[in-house]
Structure formats: C-alpha cells, structure tokens
Amino acid sequence: MTNETILEALKSVTYPGFTKDIVTFGFVKDVKVEGDKVSILVDITSSAPEVKAQITDEATVELKKLGFLAVDVTIKAPQAPKQMSNSVSGKNIAPHVKNFVMVSSGKGGVGKSTTSVNIAIAMAMQGKKVGILDADIYGPNIPRMMGLQNVKPEIQGNKVQPLQAYGVEMMSMGSLMEEGQSLIWRGSMIMKAIEQFLRDILWSELDVLVIDMPPGTGDAQLSLAQSVPVTAGIVVTTPQQVSLDDSKRSLDMFEKLHIPIAGVVENMSGFICPSCETESDIFGMGTSKEVAASYNAELMAQIPIEPAIRIGGDTGKPVIFHNPDSETAKRYQTAASNLLAFIDKVNAEGGADNSAVQPTTPPGVSACSTGAAASQPEPSGGGCGCS
Ligand SMILES: Nc1ncnc2c1ncn2[C@@H]1O[C@H](COP(=O)(O)OP(=O)(O)OP(=O)(O)O)[C@@H](O)[C@H]1O
Ligand SMILES: [Mg+2]
C-alpha cells in the first residue's frame, strides 16, 4: 500500500467547519506503514478538543476501510489560547473585545447589513457574547433590522451604553441621530466616528463584534483596520458578474489590510418560492465559489432571495430568530459555525495583527503638515483626505 493511496483515502476527512479536507489543507505531516499497522501524524491549527476528536474518529474509519487492523492517529494541536483572543501585536483601541469581524462588499445593497444581523444573532444563539456595530455612518440600517428603531441609548458620562436585542449588543449612528437626519461628513470625520464607536461605547467583554461596513473600500475600512486587529473579514456578494467584480476589490482590500478572509457569503442566490418552496435561479447561483477560491477563501453560505428575509429586515424580526427552522436560518447557522471555527483557527495561529497597516506619520503629526508627505507617494488606500 503506497502513501498516495493512504493520502487519497484521508481526503474524505474534512476539516471540521470547512469544506476542505485535512490533506488539501496540508495538515497530514507523516504516514508510516508497518505490516497491517498504519500511523499518521496530523498537525492542526485548532486547539478545540472536538476538532481533534472528530478528525481522529473519521481518519480511523477511513484507514480501517483500507484494511489496516491497527490505526494510530496522532494529532498535534496548539495549546488552547488563554482567551479567545486579541492579545496581539499592533494597535487595539478596544482590547476588551476579543475578536472583530468586518463585513464588507464592493457593491451597495447586496445584503451586508442583513447578513451581519443574521450571523451575529446566530452566533449569540450558539452561546457566544456578540455585539454588532453599524459602521455605515451615512446609511445606518441596523437599528430597524434589529427592531431597535427609535430606541435611544443611555448616556453614562461621555460614554454610551449599547442597545440590546436578540441577545446581541448593538450601536449605530442611527441610534444617536433623529430619524431621517442626514450627515455630510468628510473622510477624517468618518475615521473619528469609527474610533469613537470602538472607544466610547460601553461594549461588554464580547467574544465577537460584527462590524457592518458601508459599501466599498474607503476611509471607514482603513480606519477600522488601523484601530483594531480584525480577526476575520467576510465579503457579501450577489451572484451577478457585476457584483462579483466588485467583491474582488473587497477581497483584495482584506489582503492589503492583512485581514484573514473567513469567506464569501453569496446572497440572493436563487429564489425559494414561498408557496411551493421550489428553488429557482434568478441572479445566478454558485458563481461566487470561483472568486472565493481565487483568494483561498471558503464560500461560507448561499442565501436565497426569500421574502421572509426582506420582511424580517423591514420589521425588525430577523429570520434567524423568528423562522429558526427555515432553510435560510439553517444556512446562516452554518455560516456562523464556520466563522467561529475560522476565528478559532486564526487565534490558534497567533491572532490578527494590524501593525503593518498603521499610518506612517509619527503620533500627533498629521500627514498634511509634514513636508515629507508632499514629496512621497501616498500609501495605497491611505492618505489624510486633504487636498
Ligand atoms: N436574501 C435576501 N432575500 C430577500 N431580501 C433580501 C435578501 N438579502 C437582503 N435583502 C433585502 O435587500 C435590501 C438590501 O439589503 P441590505 O440593506 O442588507 O444590503 P446592504 O449591502 O447592507 O446595503 P448598503 O450597501 O446600502 O448598506 C434590504 O431590504 C434587505 O431586506
Ligand atoms: Mg447596509
């Protein structure tokens, strides 16, 4: 029996929470055969005991199928991190939040806010302490989607208590302004607002803060990445080519900002008829898979167009909580589990690090005021916004 045959058999063992297998991930480090005994060494990135147990069980079954009488699976796993983590290098202005997740898209209106709300609540339903920050300063929609429209937060000194719904803490510019008011802000003011949302909101010791971004790749994204180490980035796209094109820009931005990519959520992927539950293709389906793969990312979920999702958003009754048995809710739950496994993996590998994306000017010195800045090319995506 060759090692190739054994590795081929081990390709049936998927890494828990992912679609890829342990061989493709490169986790199988050694294979030894002695007569009817086989020993393998698997070096994984998660410290979770259930991950270790699942791989051991599945690998044993696959190797026994090859006819081995004795199977020895050794799993090398990292030490469990002391906390779920970001005791990391780089700047962190909200160290009591363990993990930050940035939800982005290249195009507007593809379902970032809907995805953020449903995945945040799904993680809370799975027992995590979760917050959601609506960083869409110009178009804050999260209060309505969480049923917190017109609820005003409590102010404590110069800090603000987040609101609460569905077991999730929430803050949004929409909760701080009167309904229908608009903001006309320059880039530097957006950057300040993002910082204040992280520093001056009394978030609890959260496991995960989901941050719903405005569309595109601008000041808000850069400012966030410079303020806190972002553990995971999610790109939301619809299946049409025009949206996929823009989603590549978001994936590229995550790479430039050193944000580990948890995956792509394909939203409005097919349509489930509310009467007969038939799934039909409207904008296309499954097209995001290739884009995700080109950035070594997972397709985390395909969420269909479903009236219940839109109604849930408009009425503040998210589908994940109010229709928990629906197919859509199950897909959001799977995406949430995948996200938590990914966060676990990033932390086991040393956590997020934003030291490489810090501004290059010394603290307290504006890039506008240094003569050097004028003669140097701007770092991509950076700049102070002055002209
Ligand atoms: N899968 C879906 N099925 C049905 N309606 C959906 C679905 N996803 C989102 N919607 C609806 O589409 C609209 C846009 O979604 P959403 O506000 O989440 O997008 P967005 O990407 O956050 O937009 P923006 O770029 O303006 O912030 C909302 O009315 C929402 O309820
Ligand atoms: Mg939005």
Report which protein residue has its CA nearest ligand 1's atom 18: 111
Residue 108 CA to ligand 2 center (angstroms) comes to 7
Residue 313 CA to ligand 1 center (angstroms) comes to 8
User: For ligand 1, is residue 122 a contact (CB within 6 Å)?
Assistant: no
Closest atom of ligand 1 to CA, residue 328: 1
237 neighbors 264 (Cβ within 8 angstroms): yes
**H or E stretch at 373:** helix 371-375
Amino acid type, 181? Q
SS3 186: coil
Report which protein residue has its CA nearest ligand 1's atom 14: 109
Closest atom of ligand 1 to CA, residue 136: 27
User: For ligand 1, is residue 28 a contact (CB within 6 Å)?
Assistant: no
Q: Using one digit for the tens of pLDDT, what is the confidence trace for 319-362?
A: 999 999 998 999 999 999 999 999 999 998 888 988 888 876 55
Indicate the pLDDT class of residue 386, thresholds 50, 70 and 90: very low
Q: What is the pLDDT of residue 292?
A: 94
User: For ligand 1, is residue 128 a contact (CB within 6 Å)?
Assistant: no
Q: Using one digit for the tens of pLDDT, what is the confidence trace for 264-307?
A: 999 999 987 878 878 788 888 889 999 999 999 999 999 999 99
Q: Which ligand is nearest to the CA of 243?
A: 1
Distance between CA atoms of residues 138 and 190, nearest Å: 9
Across the chain, mean pLDDT equals: 86
Residue 314 CA to ligand 1 center (angstroms) comes to 10
User: For ligand 1, is residue 266 a contact (CB within 6 Å)?
Assistant: no
Q: Using one digit for the tens of pLDDT, what is the confidence trace for 127-162?
A: 999 999 999 988 899 999 999 998 999 988 889 999
- The torsion angles phi and psi of 102, rounded to 5 degrees, stand at -100, 125
User: For ligand 1, is residue 105 a contact (CB within 6 Å)?
Assistant: yes
User: For ligand 1, is residue 309 a contact (CB within 6 Å)?
Assistant: yes
Indicate the pLDDT class of residue 375, thresholds 50, 70 and 90: very low
Among 103, 105, 114, 212, the mutation site with the greatest number of ligand 1 atoms within 8 A of its Cβ is: 114
User: For ligand 1, is residue 216 a contact (CB within 6 Å)?
Assistant: no
Residue 318 CA to ligand 2 center (angstroms) comes to 15
Residues with CB under 5 A from ligand 2 (ion): 112-113, 141
Indicate the pLDDT class of residue 233, thresholds 50, 70 and 90: very high
Q: How far is CA 90 from CA 18, 249, 387, in A?
A: 28, 24, 29
Report which protein residue has its CA nearest ligand 1's atom 5: 310
Residue 354 CA to ligand 2 center (angstroms) comes to 25
Q: What is the pLDDT of residue 183?
A: 62
Task: Please report, in angstroms and rounded to a whole number, the separation of the first and last CA atoms in the chain.
Answer: 69
- Indicate if the pLDDT at residue 210 is higher than 50: yes
345 neighbors 15 (Cβ within 8 angstroms): no
252 neighbors 173 (Cβ within 8 angstroms): no
Closest atom of ligand 1 to CA, residue 236: 21
Q: Using one digit for the tens of pLDDT, what is the confidence trace for 57-79?
A: 999 999 999 999 999 999 988 66
Closest atom of ligand 1 to CA, residue 109: 23
